[in-house]
Amino acid sequence: MSIPPPECLKSPMHVPSKLLMGPGPSNSPPQVHQAMLKPLLGHLHPEFTQIMDEVKEGLRYLFQTKSDVVCCVSGTGHAGMEATMCNLLEPNDVILIAQNGIWGERAADMASRHEADVRVIKKPAGEIFQLDELEAALKEHRPAVLFLVQGESSSGALQPIYGVGPLCQKYGVLLAVDAVASLGGVPFFMDQWGVDVVYTGTQKVISAPPSMAPIAFSDRAMAKVRARKKPIRSFYADITWLANYWGCDGSPRKYHHTGPVSSVYALREALSLVCAEGLESLWARHAACAQRLHDGLTALNLQLFISDPAKRTPTVTTIKVPEGVDWMKVTKYFMNKYRVEISGGLGPSAGLVWRVGLMGYNCTSDNVDLVLKIMKEALDQQSIITS
Ligand code: PMP
């Protein structure tokens, strides 16, 4: 054989234990890791489809929806975004994207790949969209779909969703929301708020490993999918196939793809922890830890990137890098000395901020205090100051 087995696979893999305090993934609790050790089942075995049904119930609670179509795309948060775009959009459909960071940019990129007519309203990173601004844009562009990002993890902004649903209904628009970086950390009410499609990722507040994108479609969204003139361009992300595999359409389940069996166990376990704590308590824990972090950072004379507390998502805090400080030296200090991850900026915030995540299992006052202690220590190091 001209290609021998690689040398690197002869030694065990190296996986250090790290505290992941960036914008995701967050660490998973031990029970969630243990769930993945359970025996594999076939992806259509009744014991496994029962677990899938339990996951669906947990997701209905998390999304606060009674919708039939609640399932997961196998893949990460981006897979949820792809599924949203490819199912809702046909060529030349107008989609209006509220862009205030990288996730609105990605959404525009994906929508244009589906040959949608992409219209964008833009705000600087850290800003959010008011209802009257959204209404004016809906009137002007008359889109089929409005896309919002609830927790813009590149800037730390929290886009209010309340009130947008009725506006969309008034103009005959479907409302799609990216809740990857926010769901579970802040209130979200799919049915009450009139959201038509929402997706998230398993690795953020849910604190399961990255692997699936939980997603829900309203009846209105499914009506648009069923009325399509052209077939959905992605077989893998076709919501009608996914809904069948996840037992949402009342028909016997057919083989669509092999579900990520162990990841579904992990999600089932993580959702049982979410349910045991209760959403109100989870939201309150995120609010309290974020407040503790923001107060502590202010006490260190650091400034938050978003000055208005009402516009901040508690799940991702963005901190201005002070003049003369090398942001990367600080993130390296966290990692090299303490094996703690915090991140730099992303997209429009690159080079300007650090991002600290408070998500799910990692959202504790002890972790906040540790981040504050390391930040103080790092900023006290002469070598970190560049000028
Ligand atoms: N949307 C938002 C708001 C995110 O924060 C992320 C992940 N950082 C994604 C989408 C994409 O998720 P993933 O990296 O899991 O594909």
pLDDT by residue for the chain (387 residues), tens only, comes to 999 999 999 999 999 999 999 999 999 999 999 999 999 999 999 999 999 999 999 999 999 999 999 999 999 999 999 999 999 999 999 999 999 999 999 999 999 999 999 999 999 999 999 999 999 999 999 999 999 999 999 999 999 999 999 999 999 999 999 999 999 999 999 999 999 999 999 999 999 999 999 999 999 999 999 999 999 999 999 999 999 999 999 999 999 999 999 999 999 999 999 999 999 999 999 999 999 999 999 999 999 999 999 999 999 999 999 999 999 999 999 999 999 999 999 998 899 999 999 999 999 999 999 999 999 999 998 777 665
Enumerate residues lining ligand 1, CB below 6 A. Answer: 23-24, 76-78, 103, 149, 151, 153, 178, 180-181, 201, 210
How far does residue 213's CA lie from ligand 1's centre (Å)?
10
Q: 304: Cβ–Cβ under 8 A, 6 or more apart, which residues?
A: 156, 294, 297, 298, 312, 317, 318, 319, 320
Q: Cα dihedral sign for 339, 341, 342, 345? A: positive
CA distances from 281 to 51, 155, 208, 360 (A): 25, 25, 19, 11
Ligand 1 atom with minimal separation from the 81 CA = 10
| Cα 83 to ligand 1 centroid, rounded to whole Å | 14
Residue 243 parent element (H or E): helix 239-245
CA distance 301 to 141: 44
List helix spans (H) across 176-217.
190-193
Which domains can be identified in the chain, with CATH numbers?
19-24+278-384 (3.90.1150.10), 30-275 (3.40.640.10)
Q: Which pLDDT score is estimated for 70?
A: 98
Residue 348 has a pLDDT of 84
Q: Say if residues 155 and 23 touch (Cβ distance below 8 Å).
A: no
Mutation choice for ligand 1 from 99, 100, 110, 153, CB with most ligand atoms inside 8 A = 153
**pLDDT at res. 131:** 98
Please identify, by atom number, the ligand 1 atom nearest to the C-alpha of residue 24. Answer: 8
Instruction: Provide the angle, in degrees to the nearest 10, between the axes of the packed helices 77-88 and 219-226.
Output: 60
User: CB neighbours of 232 closer than 8 A, spacing ≥ 6?
Assistant: 86, 87, 225, 238, 239, 240
Distance between CA atoms of residues 313 and 238, nearest Å: 31
pLDDT at 217: 99
The CA distance from 318 to 303, in Å, is 9
> Which residues belong to the annotated binding site?
355
The pLDDT value given to residue 368: 98
Atom 1, ligand 1: which residue's CA is nearest?
A: 180
Q: Which of 211, 253, 76, 78 is nearest to 149 (CA)?
A: 78
pLDDT for the residue 382: 73
Interval between CA 165 and ligand 1 midpoint (Å): 23
Give the atom of ligand 1 at the shortest distance from the alpha carbon of 213. 15
Atom of ligand 1 nearest to the CA of 75: 16
Question: What's phi and psi for 228, nearest 5 deg?
Answer: -60, 145
